[in-house]
Structure 1
């Protein structure tokens, strides 16, 4: 190893280390965040060694690797910066399909965030620019260096993370420490980023998403359910010893032992207070308690001061509707490392209101959403909770908008159930969604005149304007209940999915007023409105509570049979320990508040460090237990094993395309979706009458057959990197399904019947189907005939998307019948 090699590789290392530390600081401090220096720096120094070693691989491989690695690393940090600017949290790999959908669906929000982040993005681009300039000037080697230089550098660079891991216990081992973030099986990318840096957090998040955790490990600790005398809200047949004997799964056994250590919350004077009442639950998009005003929002003000009044309610989530909605509906914290609702779709959910109203009250529960029903796959997740679900393109007669009217949704749905007591309806609203501008928000523009007198920025007034649509909706709902004479027997619950992250913080501070100085968690302070016309005087509750506590509180109030040990939320009216738990692990109780970011504990009276540590560990258990219930389908296992239920009920599963119902190609699209040949993506529409592109049909067939591209490189000059169809088209070419000599693929051209027949015939031959050419011809002919019968407006010989799906599905069904 020469001195020149040492200098060159040292320059690479210095550049990588500087870039990573700059990126960590730029992203970590955005929005007022902090960076824990030693864990972040230690792992960055190790990563810099790996990056340098990769750039020094033998031959020109190292040069090519470096040219790709640097922009990829910059893209990772840049994406996280923009995502954090929008949502106030980092993007988990598990969210890139459905959580990322929330960004792409509202591109205006993303564009504005990029604009806000542009100065930091430009500063962050400086090391990448330096990388290319120094290579151009040949101050950095383009070709690889000696192996001994690589090994020496790697050994020296990896010393930092090794020393870090060895010294990490010196910084503490309890919850909220780097050691805990490193070893936890349920920590989120946000909590890991705070303790370990974003690079390490992203690596652990990717491992957790792609490989999964090593299992659920939870130890019994502080029993948050303990307190109160008399009968408990537990199920008599829930025998945890029997459940232990029925499984060898260590995750299930760990959960059994944890639940067995809990007493369960006691029934109380409010148990069954609303038995046989009607129930309407509203999850309000980006709603804030600071909007409630006797003059401007009289209906919401009335709801906030009548019925049961929860003075210290906190919404656990700063962002992502799906997390807040999940916690509200499940009585559990979501597993923040993935899309929990999507995972729950196949689980047994005995404690959801829709299923309980059906099972114990014989009620057909209704659920509504005034956006596309396939967004976050609600058409399936909400059906699994026991709801007859309606949304735009899923049975709700409303036109799409940006956003749409909550009032119109109420006007078109109340008559579905109001005359059929008892009833239960659930609403996920949409009018309050960002962007908060009069130019880009339809509802804000519609209500602009109503907020002309409000002082503040356009964003603040636009936020007020769109939330006034919720006020109109609730005013209409209460009027209809009173006109029908059922208000005295109806409970209306309203809470938010998350606080309004789309509103600039300075504007939210203006809206919140004095609360900003009075409450360090003022952004999370929210409303659990529990209104009924059946109480003469309001019931005021001072206990601290949060989103996951709403479901168990309602289950107790309505007198449902449930097991309070199996939910991480608690009945707020029970005599037990009450905690408002927030997404990042921070929490508030009547004795203390804990800031997980800083580790600071603020006491309301005399302090007790041992008790505080017990609470911190108990909150960590909340995340671990909730994630374990989800990942193991614990309810399905427990109820079926003990014979308490069949475990689940049959229900129709909808493809993720709302516009195929009743079409002649519906079954084909359903079949292709089940094979993974179609993604069932987030727009809600399949557009089956439109012309099918060559790329779409080849992708359907390639994915349906499970073809893989491997190392193959198709010769097509128009098959660009990064395009969604590159992989399936390359796989089809590698399998010999496409002409081998052509250099142009023409991905966007409409596919002809002749081309489709040739493609299917090649696939049939490759799969060993007898009479494959005849089968392909018959499938395409039948598709064309069905198109014509339905009055297709396409040119002769051009297949529609529905026709192509029909033909591809017909062939794949034949392939499926082949002996394995």
Structure 2
């Protein structure tokens, strides 16, 4: 009888420990703990804990105790590691992260700093393991009979099935438990709704599903340099419409002559057929007075690490300020944060596709035909195309994704010989790379900078320390000063770049575009507010970004239309007069008359009429608008479709199917 009672006690021990871990995690990273998600988390934790109990009850007592300590150690590492990852990157790590974990080890000093700032939650996460080690001799995990194992296992299966049924039945709201559990994988919302352990299981399911997608086609992943794309690779352009009025200018559409009906008729794969039907019904964007404004000009496209509008200052970063004021000034631009922070942010800005959750989308795209990247578009019309990154060349597998976008790619370790510091210098990258292309017109150069990378301190950041004297006098806290010092490096790099273009006499023949990969999450919300000079309250304010689009001698243009990094590729494609199909991209030309739509990872969105917060389903009407439920539901569906079909484009190598490549 005593033995049976002891077994029952241990039966509930591991579920209780899992619930404890989940609670500590939620308290550490979420503002709200006791919500609907907490209930689902507790329910899912019970069968998971029972499964672990069964693993520690089927062998001799010594083996069972070792298994118990091992499981507890793994859970401690998992929860502690995810908590630290969230504190650094403001999101949780997908298991896919471990593909590149070896490269991530270079940031170990940032991890040390984060550990030092989170000793209290780490202590509470380690507490069960500490207690188990201390009480190791008193723990009695005796072997239980097979009949009992079968009964307990059956009970766990029934309980798991019941919880899944309950979740599947909870279908209220945009981010309903059913939607998050069965249709999409949004890691941060999944952790909030179901807990970290269940999210890990869903993550594995998502990864396995992704592997299945690629199983039918063996495409070599090692890419040295992309194939040339010629004009003949693209369908004909739809000609402009005739003017309908005496003084009216008729603009055609940015739309290619794609024979969707024929493609549908000859396609045997249902997923591709579905995609053809979707894209043929997407409304294309019209050409406009800015179409071809920079046709045949050189293009320099930059994704700037951790850049933000608050880093632009007339006195501190005068070159960036000049570019903002003398170019296209986008006053309502957003840079959402995605699951794989920098890589996903870069992917969105370079492809106008939304990243797929749970995988490294840019890395996966290396297998695909990507005709609308600026490198491939411009290469097809005779441009010399280059890409540079001043950190390790193969980090995030850029050595595979970037050549596939049409670039001759160099980074630290494969031809760009910047001094290896942390972070490396944007100035040095510009000085080393510009001579390679400045005399090879027409050219297109793409840069992914690194000088703006966290951590923002003067002791762990070479660039911040280098420029410390330039910010020491400012009335800001140390982290904010360090952040500005990092962005001074970018500013000086742009000063040198523009000077080189002017000296070569081609500054007026070159368009420069700069946008961030993500907001500077290395600063706290309080520090961001300090930098912005106002209180930043909501996530929408945090994600306010900047898009610099400048060419020497142009007339300044202020654009108040809401937009985001998803819109960069179609906007630049139109400005350069390139033949592209706006229906096949998820962003829209900002300068067109297309209705704006900015989407965020959690399916929140902003239009010219409303701000929709998906988690609370709160709708805020913008001044002068009062929309009805029909409009809101249409936009909710449009957002879901954009995520769905972006993933399908990636999974199915869709552009290859469209253009028969």
TM-score by length of 2: 0.88
Out of 24, 30, 33, the position equivalent to 1:32 is: 30
In structure 1, how many angstroms separate the alpha carbons of the residues matched to 2:154 and 2:343? 44
Query: 1:359: how far off?
Result: 0.6
Whose RCO is larger (CA < 8 A, sep 6+)? 2
CA contact (8 A) 1:81 1:117 kept: no
What's the counterpart of residue 312 of structure 1? 332
In structure 1, how many angstroms separate the alpha carbons of the residues matched to 2:98 and 2:250? 47
Which range moves more in the overlay, 240-249 or 262-271?
A: 240-249
Q: Against the structure 1 CA distance between its residues 572 and 178, is the aligned structure 2 distance closer, same or farther, given a 3 Å change threshold? A: same
Out of 610, 618, 621, the position equivalent to 2:641 is: 621
Out of 63, 81, 84, the position equivalent to 1:82 is: 84
Matched, 1:146 2:145: yes
Which range moves more in the overlay, 594-603 or 72-81?
A: 594-603
What's the counterpart of residue 631 of structure 1? 651
Which range moves more in the overlay, 295-304 or 45-54?
A: 45-54
What's the counterpart of residue 242 of structure 1? 262
What's the counterpart of residue 336 of structure 1? 357
Q: Deviations over 1:476-509 (max 9, x none)?
A: 2223333333222221100111112223443223
Q: Against the structure 1 CA distance between its residues 29 and 576, is the aligned structure 2 distance closer, same or farther, given a 3 Å change threshold? A: farther
Q: Against the structure 1 CA distance between its residues 379 and 337, is the aligned structure 2 distance closer, same or farther, given a 3 Å change threshold? A: same
Q: Which runs of 5+ in 1 are unaligned?
A: 217-227, 641-646, 648-820
Query: 1:84: how far off?
Result: 0.8
Which range moves more in the overlay, 147-156 or 561-570?
A: 147-156
Q: Where does 1:206-221 land on structure 2 (aligned, <5 Å)?
A: 206-212=204-210
What's the counterpart of residue 579 of structure 1? 597
CA contact (8 A) 1:229 1:266 kept: no
Q: Which runs of 5+ in 2 are unaligned?
A: 215-248
Q: Deviations over 1:37-71 (max 9, x none)?
A: 22212111221222222222244454443232222
Please state whether the residue corresponding to 2:594 is helix, strand or coil: coil
What's the counterpart of residue 68 of structure 2? 66
What's the counterpart of residue 126 of structure 1? 127
What's the counterpart of residue 448 of structure 2? 428
Q: Where does 1:704-715 land on structure 2 (aligned, <5 Å)?
A: none
Which range moves more in the overlay, 480-489 or 326-335?
A: 480-489
In structure 2, how many angstroms separate the alpha carbons of the residues matched to 1:432 and 1:278? 25
In structure 1, how many angstroms separate the alpha carbons of the residues matched to 2:44 and 2:196? 10
In structure 1, how many angstroms separate the alpha carbons of the residues matched to 2:606 and 2:193? 21
In structure 1, how many angstroms separate the alpha carbons of the residues matched to 2:211 and 2:636? 22
In structure 1, how many angstroms separate the alpha carbons of the residues matched to 2:305 and 2:14? 42
Deviation >6 Å, runs of 4+: 213-216
What's the counterpart of residue 112 of structure 2? 111
Query: 1:553: how far off?
Result: 0.9
What's the counterpart of residue 521 of structure 1? 540
Q: Against the structure 1 CA distance between its residues 195 and 102, is the aligned structure 2 distance closer, same or farther, given a 3 Å change threshold? A: farther
Matched, 1:272 2:292: yes
In structure 1, how many angstroms separate the alpha carbons of the residues matched to 2:626 and 2:168? 29
What's the counterpart of residue 324 of structure 1? 345
Please state whether the residue corresponding to 1:494 is helix, strand or coil: strand
Query: 1:607: how far off?
Result: 4.0
In structure 2, how many angstroms separate the alpha carbons of the residues matched to 1:324 and 1:101? 21
Q: Where does 1:289-688 land on structure 2 (aligned, <5 Å)?
A: 289-317=309-337, 320-360=341-381, 362-514=382-534, 516-517=536-537, 520-536=539-555, 538-604=556-622, 605-640=625-660, 647=661
Which range moves more in the overlay, 407-416 or 306-315?
A: 407-416
In structure 2, how many angstroms separate the alpha carbons of the residues matched to 1:559 and 1:535? 17
Please state whether the residue corresponding to 1:30 is helix, strand or coil: helix
What's the counterpart of residue 53 of structure 1? 54
Please state whether the residue corresponding to 2:523 is helix, strand or coil: coil
Query: 1:368: how far off?
Result: 1.5
In structure 2, how many angstroms separate the alpha carbons of the residues matched to 1:597 and 1:265? 30
CA contact (8 A) 1:315 1:525 kept: yes
Query: 1:552: how far off?
Result: 0.9
What's the counterpart of residue 242 of structure 2? none
CA contact (8 A) 1:403 1:433 kept: yes
Query: 1:135: how far off?
Result: 5.2
Query: 1:445: how far off?
Result: 1.4
In structure 2, how many angstroms separate the alpha carbons of the residues matched to 1:449 and 1:211? 52
In structure 2, how many angstroms separate the alpha carbons of the residues matched to 1:165 and 1:203? 13
Out of 91, 94, 97, the position equivalent to 1:95 is: 97
Q: Where does 1:670-749 land on structure 2 (aligned, <5 Å)?
A: none
CA contact (8 A) 1:515 1:522 kept: no
TM-score by length of 1: 0.72
Please state whether the residue corresponding to 1:110 is helix, strand or coil: helix
CA contact (8 A) 2:174 2:617 kept: no
In structure 1, how many angstroms separate the alpha carbons of the residues matched to 2:605 and 2:438? 39
Q: Against the structure 1 CA distance between its residues 478 and 422, is the aligned structure 2 distance closer, same or farther, given a 3 Å change threshold? A: same
Q: Against the structure 1 CA distance between its residues 102 and 312, is the aligned structure 2 distance closer, same or farther, given a 3 Å change threshold? A: farther
Please state whether the residue corresponding to 1:208 is helix, strand or coil: helix
Query: 1:278: how far off?
Result: 1.6
Query: 1:261: how far off?
Result: 2.2
Query: 1:213: how far off?
Result: 7.4
What's the counterpart of residue 191 of structure 1? 189
CA contact (8 A) 1:493 1:530 kept: yes
Largest Rg, 1 or 2: 1
CA contact (8 A) 1:192 1:201 kept: yes
Query: 1:74: how far off?
Result: 1.9
Q: Deviations over 1:515-557 (max 9, x none)?
A: 514x542221110111122422x22222221111101111111
Please state whether the residue corresponding to 1:396 is helix, strand or coil: coil
Q: Against the structure 1 CA distance between its residues 390 and 129, is the aligned structure 2 distance closer, same or farther, given a 3 Å change threshold? A: closer
What's the counterpart of residue 771 of structure 1? none
Q: Deviations over 1:110-159 (max 9, x none)?
A: 11112223211211222334445555224xx3222123333443444455
Which range moves more in the overlay, 77-86 or 566-575?
A: 566-575
Please state whether the residue corresponding to 1:301 is helix, strand or coil: helix
Q: Against the structure 1 CA distance between its residues 86 and 435, is the aligned structure 2 distance closer, same or farther, given a 3 Å change threshold? A: same
In structure 1, how many angstroms separate the alpha carbons of the residues matched to 2:40 and 2:438? 58
CA contact (8 A) 2:292 2:577 kept: yes
Question: Aligned residues, how many?
Answer: 620
CA contact (8 A) 1:135 1:142 kept: no
Please state whether the residue corresponding to 1:212 is helix, strand or coil: helix
Query: 1:281: how far off?
Result: 0.8
Question: Cα RMSD (Å) of the superposition?
Answer: 2.3
In structure 2, how many angstroms separate the alpha carbons of the residues matched to 1:548 and 1:65? 48
In structure 2, how many angstroms separate the alpha carbons of the residues matched to 1:130 and 1:440? 35
In structure 2, how many angstroms separate the alpha carbons of the residues matched to 1:101 and 1:505? 30
Please state whether the residue corresponding to 1:573 is helix, strand or coil: coil
